[in-house]
Each structure stands twice: as C-alpha cells, then as structure tokens.
Structure 1
Amino acid sequence: MVSHSTPTKRQRRRTAKRVGTLLLLSLAVGFTGPGLTWSDSHSLDETVRQDISLAHTTQEREGAWEKERLALETRIARMQGKQRKLQEEVDALLWANGRKEEEAARLDEEIAKASHLTEGLSPLIASETRRAARVVTQSLPFLKSERETRLSALAEWVKAPATKQAEKLERLLELFTIETQFGHTSEAWQEEIEVAGEPITVQLLKVGRLSLYYLTLDEKGCGVFNPKTGAFEPLPANCVTHLKKAVALAQRERSAELVSLPIGRIVAP
C-alpha cells in the first residue's frame, strides 16, 4: 500500500515562488520577442519626443496665428470705421458743394439782372451829374474850392469807362448828401472877398443854404451875398449887433438864442 502525505506549508511556498518565476520569465520573453533590441527601443523614445516637440511647436504657431488673426480683424474693423467716417465727410462736402454751386448760379443770375438794370442808369447819372454841377455853381459861394474839387472828381468818375454804374451812383449820392447837409448847418470862418470891387478879409457866416453874410474884422461893417447880382452888398449898420451874435453862436461861443437877420425874399427855383 502506498501512502500519500499532505504537503507542508514550506513546500507550498516554494512551489508558488517557482511558478511565479516561470511566469515572469515567460512574460519577459513574450514582451521582448525575437525581433526587438535595445537600439530599437531608443529610436522609439526619440520619435515620441520629436512628436511631442512638434506638437508643442504647432500649438505655439497656432496660438501666434490666432493672435495675428485677431489683430488683423481689429485693424480691418478700425479701417472700415475710418472709411465710413470719410465717406460721410465726402458726402457732406459734396452736398455743401452742390449748395454752393446753386448759390453761385443764383448770384450770377442776380448780377446779370443788376447789370441789365444799371445799364439803364447811365442817362440818369449823367443828367443828375449836370444838375449837381448847377447846384454847386449857382448856390452861395461858400467852401468853393472844396465843393468844386468834389464836383470835378465826380465828373471824372462818371466819364471813366472802367467805373461801374453802382460806383458812379454811389459817388453822386455822396455829393448830394454833403450838399444837403450844408442846408442844416451854420458855420463861420475868415476869408478874403470882394466888396464893391475891393478885396477885404472878413468873417463869413453861412446860415444853411439861405444866406451868406460877412462881418468886417473891426466889427463896424457887415453885408450879405446877393445871388441875383452874384456879389456881396453892404447891410445897414444896425445889423452888426445881430451878426456878431450869430457868428458867436455858429462858433459855439454863446448859448442858443433867437437872432434876427435879413434873409430877403426866398424864390423857389
């Protein structure tokens, strides 16, 4: 009879260890295989590292390209905004230019109408200039040099072909305005005149355009200009006192008061 004994604990441990060693060897042999060497493993690691480096480089380039794309989009948006603003300014300028062209056309039309109207003023200006000459030459002989110079300048302006009708009319109205103002003022000044064919220095007094008186410097004689005869004629001696007051009033040496002076008969032209 053959007896079988039960394995001890130590024997069981030895058997498990031997089996584990065999399994590890089998796994090692199976992993390495007949075609895999150490150099092949080193090349694989290098390839992995290159792939990882290429991935990092690609990612960095993609990030840079994204930043550049965003910067370009921002720049394009800014330039489009400037373009819209410039277009608005151009449209505004074109509109304003159109309005100015319309205004220029309207002004040209008005100038043409005004030129047509002023052409008809030539006969009127010529006749009024002759009338102004009569007014100056036939009125009282005061400030003769000044008034005749102004009248001569007006005649030159009227004759000049380059002078515009508006300027001629303006000069004519200026002369009439000055002559009209003489009728509202009283002035006194010294001047040499002829009385009875003799030259004498006197104090002249102009009362508007009505009368022109003289008072001798010794205040003993006086007279008045007679438009009918075109000469100065003496006045009675009792007129001296009144003329002295009138001269003082004209020279602002006395306050305003009533003065009786011989005016004579006023004849309408």
Structure 2
Amino acid sequence: MVHHPTPTKRQRRRTSKRVGTLLLLSLAVGFTGPGLTWSDSLPLDETVRQDISLAHTTQKREGAWEKERRALETKISRLESTQRSLQEEVDALLWANGRKEKEAARLDGEIAKASHLTEGLSPLIADEAKRATQVVTQSLPFLKNERETRLAALTDWVKAPATKQAEKLERLLELFTIETQFGHTSEAWQEEIEVEGEPITVQLLKVGRLSLYYLTLDEKGCGVFSPEKGAYEPLPANCAPHLKKAIALAQRERSAELVSLPIGRIVTP
C-alpha cells in the first residue's frame, strides 16, 4: 500500500492558482467562438471606408434636400405673389361691379321716371298719329306705296299695347321728319298715272310739297295734280319746255337756273 504525502498549505494554494488560471483560459477560449473571431470581423480600414461613404451619402442627401427646400420656398413665394395679384384684381372687379350696380340702379330709376312721364303722352301721340294719317292721305300722291307703308307701320306701333310710349313717340317723330324733308327736295321719276280716265306712263316732277307735275314721254303733253279734284289736270302745251328743263334740273342734268312753273294759289285752311 502506497501512502501519498498530505499536501501542504502552500501546495494547495499553488494548485488553486493553476486551476483558476486554467479556468480563465477556458473562459477566454469559450468567448472566442465562431461569431467573434478576428478572422470573421471587418478590418479597421474597411469600417472607416464604410463610415466615410455613409457620411458622403448623407451629405449628398442633405444637399439635395436643401436644394429641394429652396426650390419649394421659391415656388411658394411666387404663388403667394400671384395670389396677392389675383386678390387685387378681384378687389378691383368687385369695386367696379359695385359701381356698375349703382349706375344700373340709377338708370333704372330714371327709366321708371321717364316711363311715368311718357304715360301722359298717350293722348298726344294718338292725336298726332291721326294728324299724320291726314297729312299722308291728303297730300300730293307721290311715293304713295312707300309713304302708306310707313304710315301703316306707325299705326300698328301706336295700337300695340306692349309698345312703350317712348317708342311710339320716336316712330311718330320719324314719320314727321321724313314728311318734312319731302318739302325741301325736288325729285323726278317715271310712273304710270291716270289722266282723264286713261292710264299713261309719264315723267313726274315733285316740287317740294307744293306741286306734282307730269310730262308725257314724247314731251308734248303736260299737266299738274289738283288737290281739290284729287286728279291730274292738263296744262297748256307751252308749259312742256319749262317742265322738261325743271326735270333735268331735278335729275342733276343741268346747272341751277330759274324756271317758270304754274304753282297756282296757296290756300291756308
């Protein structure tokens, strides 16, 4: 039987130190597993390069964002300026519209007053329309169709209930103006008339509103319209040359000169 000597305290302490050292080495070896070995980790220079690349990318993005921000600010400023201009135009249009509404209201008021005043013209317009009918029907029979058509239109306007008084008065004054102008002009034209019951084509000469003469186409016969008889009456043959000359003057074929024509007596009613 072999007896082993009992270890001393120093030996026991040395043994504990060795065990502790081995335990630390074992732990160190255990922490250096496949995931944390130096062979699998990135080198230091590669990490630096990645960090620098990331910084450059970030800087580029920040520059792009800054550029976009400035562009948006410029666009917003331009839109705000456009909005201010449009608002000024809207304000100006509203102001002008307000003035036009006031002017329209004023004109409506004046029209209403004028309509009220013209309502009192109805009896006067009716009387003057009758007088116009007498003027046309009892006057010399020149441009008969034209004048009767104008008179019939006036009568329709006066009788129409929807026609405003101002329009009736305007038509009435228009007819009187035209009839008045007939008294200041001399005209000549060809027309078929009836002389002593026989139709004949002649040259007619209107001298204002005083007389209406005729001259036959062979320039031998002539006559004048008699308002009393309502028919044409022959004139002496020696009047034909004077009528021929007067017709040439009315048609602007001769220069102005004095012509003797039988006017007759002017009778005032």
Which consecutive residues of structure 2, in runs of 5 or more, have no partner in the other structure?
Answer: 1-27
Which consecutive residues of structure 1, in runs of 5 or more, have no partner in the other structure?
Answer: 1-34
Alpha-carbon separation, structure 2, partners of 1:266 and 1:60: 116
1:40 deviates by 7.6
Structure 1 vs Structure 2 CA RMSD: 2.9
The equivalences for 1:1-269 within 5 A come to 46=43, 49-121=46-118, 122-123=121-122, 124-268=124-268
Please give the per-residue CA displacement for 1:134-193, whole angstroms capped at 9, x wherever unaligned.
221121111111110111012112323333444434433332232222222211223333
Please give the per-residue CA displacement for 1:229-251, whole angstroms capped at 9, x wherever unaligned.
33323323322221121122223
Task: Quote the residue 1:6 is aligned against.
Answer: none
Amino acid at match of 1:129: A
Alpha-carbon separation, structure 2, partners of 1:95 and 1:55: 60
- For the 8 Å contact 1:187–1:206, the answer to whether it is kept is yes
Name which of structure 1's ranges 143-152 and 104-113 shifts more when overlaid on structure 2: 104-113
Distance 1:232 1:119, change over 3 A: farther
Distance 1:126 1:120, change over 3 A: farther
Amino acid at match of 2:57: E
SS in 2 for 1:120: helix
Alpha-carbon separation, structure 2, partners of 1:127 and 1:92: 55
Amino acid at match of 1:255: S
1:110 deviates by 0.8
Please give the per-residue CA displacement for 1:102-149, whole angstroms capped at 9, x wherever unaligned.
213312321331243134335243333222222211211111111101
Alpha-carbon separation, structure 2, partners of 1:126 and 1:220: 47
Please give the per-residue CA displacement for 1:70-118, whole angstroms capped at 9, x wherever unaligned.
3222222222222222222222123223212321331232133124313
Distance 1:226 1:46, change over 3 A: same
Amino acid at match of 1:153: A
Sequence identity percentage? 55
Alpha-carbon separation, structure 1, partners of 2:133 and 2:112: 27
* Residues matched between the structures, number: 233
Task: Quote the residue 1:31 is aligned against.
Answer: none
Amino acid at match of 1:141: P
Alpha-carbon separation, structure 2, partners of 1:116 and 1:126: 21
Please give the per-residue CA displacement for 1:201-221, whole angstroms capped at 9, x wherever unaligned.
332210111111122333333
TM-score (norm 1): 0.73
Distance 1:127 1:50, change over 3 A: farther
Alpha-carbon separation, structure 2, partners of 1:180 and 1:136: 11
Please give the per-residue CA displacement for 1:51-85, whole angstroms capped at 9, x wherever unaligned.
55224303421331233123222222222222222
- For the 8 Å contact 1:119–1:165, the answer to whether it is kept is no
Alpha-carbon separation, structure 1, partners of 2:187 and 2:42: 126
- For the 8 Å contact 1:214–1:222, the answer to whether it is kept is yes
Distance 1:112 1:161, change over 3 A: farther
Please give the per-residue CA displacement for 1:18-56, whole angstroms capped at 9, x wherever unaligned.
xxxxxxxxxxxxxxxxx9x9x987788735642552243
Alpha-carbon separation, structure 2, partners of 1:100 and 1:194: 66
TM-score (norm 2): 0.73
